[in-house]
Amino acid sequence: MTLIEQMTQLARQAREASRELARLTPDRKNRCLLAMADALEANEDQLRLGNAIDLDWGAKTGLSAPMLDRLKLDEKRIAGMARGLREVAALPDPVGRLLEERVRPNGLRLRKVTVPIGVVAIIYESRPNVTADAAGLCFKSGNATILRGGKEALNSNQLIATILVNAAARALPEFPRHAIQVVPTADREAIPALLSLTQYVDLCMPRGGEGLIRAVAECSKVPVIKHYKGVCHVFVDREADLGMAGDIVMNAKCQRPAVCNAMETLLVDRPVAAAFLPALARRMAEKNVEFRADVEAHSILSAAPEAAGFKLRKAAEQDFFTEYNDYVVNIRVVDGLRQAVDHIARYGSAHSDAIVTRNEATAQQFLSEVDSAAVYWNVSTRFTDGGEFGMGAEIGISTDKIGARGPMGLEELTSYKWLGIGQGQLRS
Amino acid sequence: MTLIEQMTQLARQAREASRELARLTPDRKNRCLLAMADALEANEDQLRLGNAIDLDWGAKTGLSAPMLDRLKLDEKRIAGMARGLREVAALPDPVGRLLEERVRPNGLRLRKVTVPIGVVAIIYESRPNVTADAAGLCFKSGNATILRGGKEALNSNQLIATILVNAAARALPEFPRHAIQVVPTADREAIPALLSLTQYVDLCMPRGGEGLIRAVAECSKVPVIKHYKGVCHVFVDREADLGMAGDIVMNAKCQRPAVCNAMETLLVDRPVAAAFLPALARRMAEKNVEFRADVEAHSILSAAPEAAGFKLRKAAEQDFFTEYNDYVVNIRVVDGLRQAVDHIARYGSAHSDAIVTRNEATAQQFLSEVDSAAVYWNVSTRFTDGGEFGMGAEIGISTDKIGARGPMGLEELTSYKWLGIGQGQLRS
């Protein structure tokens, strides 16, 4: 069987499974999810043994220590996968939700209701726990999943999927076994082959670094929902409460710098720059943050009494496009809201951007004019997250304009259809 | 300037215009739309002269009579464009609508509000009126449009766009002139060049025959919303009111066979096939409809007393995949709901499908299991239409699962963003 035949078979099976999945009641889906969670815990030894094969091979082929750490399945991570599945089981079912209802003058009743998307391909990197997390969210939302993790985790991912499928099939005889499938080859060409099958695959969600996501978006014929990177901004307006602003900026940058909703660039309104920046820099210097400052911010910071203790350099233009995911921050002094909004439109990634101000009109203008997935007023950018948004769980974050935008939970894994209920209406 | 440079400039200008557009109030947008409508009527002579150049060239290069007819702008069609723009002006503004609001336990208020998509490329065939219709709907929903019609209509399309832009700029000085642009070249390579610019173009909507749509979907790197074809079904269940069923089937097939929501295949439940088909065939024969029947339907119809008057032949499997857009109907006898649903999943195009039955449980099962953009119970499939759905106007119909599905009006031309309003919340 050629690669494309193999992928076609996989995708066709997923499509068939998705039709059966769409018929399962919420109770039956939840019964499967709970059985899956139990089975992961019951098979911990088997999982660790299977994972050890990947770890050995990874060590032999020279994977870095952090890569090996990400690849590892230990008791805590296995328990984490099981807990995730139980949490998903406890969430409301997102399918069949009435979004809108209208009765036309001719008596035709139109109901817009949520339906599963169908077949979802998830392309991700080394963490095998994504296999269970993504499969659980897709299953609960009635979607068949085709999972493709890192090649270094293939054995672990296949084992997890087998445990999930076997557990669900034992719990529910009509469970469609092809609802959860792992691409059974590490061949890199499997991805473009799979993502050419628009007749069977409805959506692709890549998760990982910008390189992976760009490669997937470039080759896919299937719709892709994604975010490339998170170049997030906080704008400290001239009418900001500077105490609040300092706390928000510290939180947005330093609470967890490695994530996509962390701040990369601080924009400070000129009238408050001299009052705000030195004190903030002192707090950030304690966290060993490096500053990449524009000319004006650089001049303010280098004039500060503590300047000798700052890791301070001049920002290059490219820095403002960069997601550091690290203790590095760009700082730019801007001349009011308009310049801040223009900066964000030019350099940002439409992920999460915040304004700190006491002035409601200024805030409303920022909220209206910044076109990002999440726009905040007097809040840290770090809140862009399915859990923080009350979605219960999250499969990813989208900065796209077609389909879901922002954190994606169960509802964001659905589409909709229109039901038209009549009494013999004819078009004239 | 190379073609890709030309398309990049066009798309970048559209992106910049889209930011200004997003700031226009509903009143200002409506003032522009009304001015555009007036200007089309005021410039009727100029439009007819400009259109005559396209018509002359078309006649010289051998366009068919129906093609020339579609290309023609006469008084009635110009008035139609103007009326369309006025209707759009009268519709509610789709931008800034609150879709959802929640307050999190930490006091963070989240508001999910509609926003324009951004830059929308519309690729269409010969009718120049699409230029005004699509530009008007996109403008009202805050989107910049890049229009690419048939090469035979280039002159007419450019003239329409110029009239619209000049009228809007006179009515509103801050109108961004690049909000409505026509691709200024007939070069076929302009389409893939334009649709490679994912940094500037947010969505592409192709409108036309399946060939055009497949070509666009194949080359586009930008998300595409589309329907390839409309292979629509009516299933007459064993518990149908056969009088109602006959009327619905006649309406779905014969009221306007050339459109995508017309029925192509009739599925009849076995227990009522003998009672239903001969009488229906008599009515259809009066409209000169050709029947392509499966073995069982063929045998019923050929045994009817009026069989000599029927245009009857046996259906080939390929027929069930075919959108005739003509007075031709496939007829198949099925064994109950399950077979009808399976037939629709296999041969249908997920556009519009109907069941006729008195049994509510059967109807609910059909509505639940048929995964099409519009699924009907005791209604003609012909109702899948923006006007009939109460959207006021329609830019197209989608059978996709990502983004809008079914008729697309103004609301379907929006995306959303999340606004987070807080009092200094930090993530811990």
A282-336 pLDDT, tens digit per residue, is 999 999 999 999 999 999 999 999 999 999 999 999 999 999 999 999 999 999 9
Query: Minimal Cα distance from A23: which residue of B?
Result: B369
Query: Minimal Cα distance from A415: which residue of B?
Result: B401
Q: Could you tell me if B127 and B117 are in contact, meaning their C-beta atoms sit under 8 angstroms apart?
A: no
What span, in angstroms and rounded, lies between the C-alpha atoms of B290 and B211?
A: 25
What span, in angstroms and rounded, lies between the C-alpha atoms of A181 and B84?
A: 49
Indicate yes or no: CB of A420 within 8 angstroms of CB of B217.
no
Indicate yes or no: CB of A375 within 8 angstroms of CB of B403.
no
Chain B residues with beta carbon closer than 8 angstroms to that of A244? 424
Phi-psi map region of B406: left, alpha, beta (phi>0 left; psi -120 to 50 alpha): left
Q: Would you give per-residue pLDDT tens digits along chain B (428 residues)?
A: 999 999 999 999 999 999 999 999 999 999 999 999 999 999 999 999 999 999 999 999 999 998 999 999 999 999 999 999 999 999 999 999 999 999 999 999 999 999 999 999 999 997 999 999 999 999 999 999 999 999 999 999 999 999 999 999 999 999 999 999 999 999 999 999 999 999 999 999 999 999 999 999 999 999 999 999 999 999 999 999 999 999 999 999 999 999 999 999 999 999 999 999 999 999 999 999 999 999 999 999 999 999 999 999 999 999 999 999 999 999 999 999 999 999 999 999 999 999 999 999 999 999 999 999 999 999 999 999 999 999 988 999 999 999 999 999 999 999 999 999 999 999 99
Q: Does A258 touch chain B (CB under 8 A)?
A: no
**3-state SS, residue A82:** helix
What span, in angstroms and rounded, lies between the C-alpha atoms of A200 and A15?
A: 6
Phi, psi of A383 (to 5 degrees): -80, -5
Q: Does B346 touch chain A (CB under 8 A)?
A: no
Angle, helices A26-42 vs A75-90, to 10°: value is 170
Chain B residues with beta carbon closer than 8 angstroms to that of A425? 378-380, 383
Indicate yes or no: CB of B247 within 8 angstroms of CB of A424.
yes
Q: Which of B281, B280, B272, B379 lies closest to B334, judged by CA?
A: B272
Phi, psi of B301 (to 5 degrees): -70, -35
pLDDT at A98: 98
Q: Does B262 touch chain A (CB under 8 A)?
A: no
Chain A residues with beta carbon closer than 8 angstroms to that of B114? none
A and B: number of Cβ contacts within 8 A: 203
Q: Does B361 touch chain A (CB under 8 A)?
A: no
Chain B residues with beta carbon closer than 8 angstroms to that of A374? 417-420
Q: Provide the b/e sequence for A52-85 (b: ≥16 CB within 10 Å).
A: eebbeebeeeebeeeeeebbbbeeebbebbbebb
Phi, psi of B196 (to 5 degrees): -95, -10
A330-381 pLDDT, tens digit per residue, is 999 999 999 999 999 999 999 999 999 999 999 999 999 999 999 999 999 9
Which of B203, B218, B422 comes nearest A379 by C-beta? B422
- Torsion sign (Cα): A242, A246, A249, A255: negative
Q: What does the pLDDT average to over A206-221?
A: 94
State how far residue B59 is from chain A, nearest Cα, in angstroms: 35
Query: Minimal Cα distance from B425: which residue of A?
Result: A379
What span, in angstroms and rounded, lies between the C-alpha atoms of A168 and A161?
A: 11
- HSE-CB of B237 using CA atoms within 13 angstroms: 21
Interface of A with B in 304-323 (CB under 8 A): none
Interface of B with A in 201-230 (CB under 8 A): 202-203, 217-218, 221, 223, 225
pLDDT at B126: 79
Interface of B with A in 114-153 (CB under 8 A): 115, 117-118
Which are the contacts of A5, defined by CB distance < 8 A and separation ≥ 6? Answer: none
| CA-to-CA dists, residue A117 to A139, A220, A317, B386, angstroms | 11, 17, 41, 23
- Which is it for strands A374-379 and A352-356: parallel, antiparallel or unpaired? parallel
Helices (H), B172-197: 190-194
Chain A residues with beta carbon closer than 8 angstroms to that of B416? 405
State how far residue A311 is from chain B, nearest Cα, in angstroms: 25
Q: Which of B50, B7, B393 lies closest to B194, judged by CA?
A: B7
Identify the H or E element spanning B212.
Answer: helix B210-219
State how far residue B184 is from chain A, nearest Cα, in angstroms: 27
State how far residue A149 is from chain B, nearest Cα, in angstroms: 23
Domains in chain A with CATH codes: 3-226+407-420 (3.40.605.10), 232-383 (3.40.309.10)
State how far residue B360 is from chain A, nearest Cα, in angstroms: 11
Chain B residues with beta carbon closer than 8 angstroms to that of A427? 251, 255-256, 380, 382-383, 388
Q: Would you list the DSSP string of B364-382? A: HHHHHH--SSEEEEEE-GG
- Which is it for strands B396-398 and B406-408: parallel, antiparallel or unpaired? antiparallel
- Which is it for strands A109-116 and A414-425: parallel, antiparallel or unpaired? antiparallel
Chain A residues with beta carbon closer than 8 angstroms to that of B388? 104, 108, 427
Is this model's pTM higher than 0.90 or not?
yes
Query: Minimal Cα distance from A404: which residue of B?
Result: B403
Indicate yes or no: CB of A377 within 8 angstroms of CB of B422.
yes
Q: Which of B325, B34, B108 lies closest to A375, judged by CA?
A: B108
State how far residue B24 is from chain A, nearest Cα, in angstroms: 11
pLDDT at A38: 98
Q: Which position has the token pair 């659905």? A: A414
- Mutate which of A25, A260, A418 to disrupt the B interface (most B C-beta within 10 Å)? A418
What span, in angstroms and rounded, lies between the C-alpha atoms of B319 and A52?
A: 55
β-strand partners of B121 = B146, B204
User: Long-range contact list for A106-109, CB < 8 A, 24+ apart?
Assistant: A106/A425, A107/A422, A107/A423, A107/A425, A108/A420, A108/A421, A108/A422, A108/A425, A108/B379, A108/B383, A108/B388, A109/A420, A109/A421, A109/A422
Q: Furthest-apart CA pair in chain B: how many Å?
A: 82
DSSP assignment letter at B358: S
B52-78 pLDDT, tens digit per residue, is 999 999 999 999 998 999 999 999 999
**Assigned token pair, A265:** 């660039």
pLDDT at B129: 94
pLDDT at A393: 86
Chain A residues with beta carbon closer than 8 angstroms to that of B241? 424
Sheet holding A144-148, edge to edge: A180-182, A144-148, A119-124, A203-207
β-strand partners of B147 = B122, B182
State how far residue A159 is from chain B, nearest Cα, in angstroms: 31
What span, in angstroms and rounded, lies between the C-alpha atoms of B163 and B144?
A: 16
Q: Does B76 touch chain A (CB under 8 A)?
A: no
Chain A residues with beta carbon closer than 8 angstroms to that of B418? 373-375, 384, 389, 405-406
Indicate yes or no: CB of A405 within 8 angstroms of CB of B427.
no
**ipTM of the modeled complex:** 0.96
pLDDT at B393: 86
Chain B residues with beta carbon closer than 8 angstroms to that of A380? 425-427
Indicate yes or no: CB of B378 within 8 angstroms of CB of A415.
no
**3-state SS, residue B389:** coil
pLDDT at A15: 97
Chain B residues with beta carbon closer than 8 angstroms to that of A377? 419-422
Q: Provide the b/e sequence for A230-265 (b: ≥16 CB within 10 Å).
A: bbbbbbbbbbbbeebbbbbbbbbbbbebebbbbbbb
Answer whether residue A392 shows pLDDT above 90.
Answer: no
Angle at B369 between CA A32 and CA A420, to 5 degrees: 135
Indicate yes or no: CB of A421 within 8 angstroms of CB of B378.
yes
Q: Does B426 touch chain A (CB under 8 A)?
A: yes
What span, in angstroms and rounded, lies between the C-alpha atoms of A395 and A411?
A: 11
Q: Which position has the token pair 């903030």? A: A280
